[in-house]
Structure 1
Amino acid sequence: MTTRFAAVLSVPPAGRIRLPGIDPDELRLALLEDVYEVVAGLEHVHPALILHPPDQPDAEAVTWPGTPILREPGPIAALRALHELGADEAALVVPDAPDLPPLLIGKLFRALGAAPAAACPATGGGLVALAVRLPAPDWLTEALPALGPAFDDPQALAALRAAAPRPGLVRKTPGWHRLREQADLGRLDPGLEGWENTRALLAGHPLPTTY
């Protein structure tokens, strides 16, 4: 049976969303906890947390007991560490997509049946998540540093496909949005289940309209 891990990347945010009365670090942790709850609730998938920088006691506190907490300097080291834990397949998920539907992570793992890597693109560029068969192929690990520690490079998917011997070796799954800028808050759908920590923190703050 294939052993699967979904790991949340706890890295400093590329942008800083500032709202009156809300500490940016509280918002960061609310986003992180909601993403962690998504991966921790997946069936037949083990959750994990990747810390970069390594000293983040507040981030560790959002995890359930028994969750592997890995202190790794980037996605390459994270994938190697997850493989050492016994993972045959792993998904790395960014920490700023609190309303990410679990189904989209499931689609990433299913795509690995046809290719060694699969990517969920982010609205506006970058990735929401990247899934990989382990051990990761050399062409993938060589391409990963340019994507940034949380896959913020706007051309991340194109860069991965350009690095692959064939573009089809990186499958594209349905995309989703990330909360990197103030206007991105308007992408949160109050009618969508989940993102409880972010929802509670933003209560009383009118959100910009994106839909």
Structure 2
Amino acid sequence: MSLPASAPHGPPGTDPGEFRLALLEDTYEVVAGLRLVTPALVLDPPAQPDAEAVTWPGTEIIREATLPGAFAALHRLGSAEAALVAADAPDLPPLLIGKLFRALGDAPAAACQAADGNGLVALAARLPLPGWLAAALAETGLDAPDALARLRAAAPRPGLVPQGPGWHRLRTPADLRRLDPGLEGWENTRALLEGHPLSF
């Protein structure tokens, strides 16, 4: 999973650092709970001991500033497939990550787009990355509003970056209205937001 380039904004009255870590820990728990998936944490900037502290013992910490660098590091660790997940999707259904991995049977990459069409929630890829994908990812990131369009435009033919079901990211206080209190998970975020309205 990968920390977003910009820190998410919680509702007024919440500490931004605590909010960021709550989102990270819940998103990490989603990934770490997947069967047959080994979690890792991608950090940029590289020194974030508070972020490292939310991971399980033995979790690989990857210090990389770019998506191609992160994928390359995961490949060096022995991964033949990997997915980078934005750290501000605490209630992401594990099934959506599973769908991305299944799509890699027919394509070199698969994307989960943000529900508002602004950037990606997750990107899965077979490793090592093909040259066209590595080059495209060097020019974009999960936060880029047109990330999916850029990747598809770089592909040598259509169909190489299929899109799975979308999901939401929590980047602004208004995004909190997307949280479903009846949905299991996101315990840390839920506890931090206790007493705060989920709509603005």
Q: TM-score, normalised by structure 1?
A: 0.91
Q: Is 1:128 the equivalent of 2:121?
A: yes
2:149 aligns with 158
Any conservation in 2 of the 1:11–1:51 contact (CA below 8 Å)? no
| Gap runs ≥5 in structure 2 | none
**Structure 1, residues 95-147: CA drift from partner, whole Å, max 9, x if none?**
10000000000000000001000000001211000000000000001111332
Alignment RMSD, CA only? 1.2
Cα 1:11–1:155 change in 2 (3 A) is closer
Q: TM-score, normalised by structure 2?
A: 0.96
1:188 aligns with 179
Any conservation in 2 of the 1:117–1:130 contact (CA below 8 Å)? yes
Shift, 1:18, TM fit: 4.1
Q: Secondary structure at the match of 1:28?
A: helix
1:21 aligns with 13
Any conservation in 2 of the 1:98–1:198 contact (CA below 8 Å)? yes
CA distance in 1, matches of 2:57, 2:90: 21
2:101 aligns with 109
Bigger mean CA deviation after superposition, 17-26 or 189-198: 17-26
Q: Secondary structure at the match of 2:25?
A: helix
> 4+ residue runs of structure 1 moved beyond 3 angstroms?
none
Bigger mean CA deviation after superposition, 164-173 or 107-116: 164-173
| Gap runs ≥5 in structure 1 | 1-7
2:49 aligns with 57
How many residue pairs get aligned? The number is 199
> Percent identity at matched positions?
70
Cα 1:39–1:131 change in 2 (3 A) is same
**Structure 1, residues 54-106: CA drift from partner, whole Å, max 9, x if none?**
00000000000011111111111100000000000000000100000000000
